[in-house]
Amino acid sequence: MVRRVSVDGQPVSHSAAAFGFSRPTFYAAQSALQAGGIPALVPKRPGPRRAHKLSVEVMDFLHRTRAADESLSAAELAQRIKKQFGLQVHPRSVERAIARAEKKTP
**What pLDDT tens digit does each residue of the chain (106 aa) get?**
999 999 999 999 999 999 999 999 999 999 999 999 999 989 888 887 777 889 999 999 999 999 999 999 999 999 999 999 999 999 999 999 999 888 876 6
Residues 63 and 98 in one domain: yes
Rg (alpha carbons) of the chain, rounded to whole number: 25
Domain presence at residue 51 = no
**The total number of structural domains that make up the chain:** 2
Residues 60 and 36 in one domain: no
Domain presence at residue 17 = yes
Domain extent, residue 76, equals 56-104
pTM beyond 0.75, yes or no: no
Q: What is the DSSP string of 34-92?
A: HHH-GGGGSPPPPS-SS-SSS-HHHHHHHHHHHHH-TT--HHHHHHHHHHHH-----HH
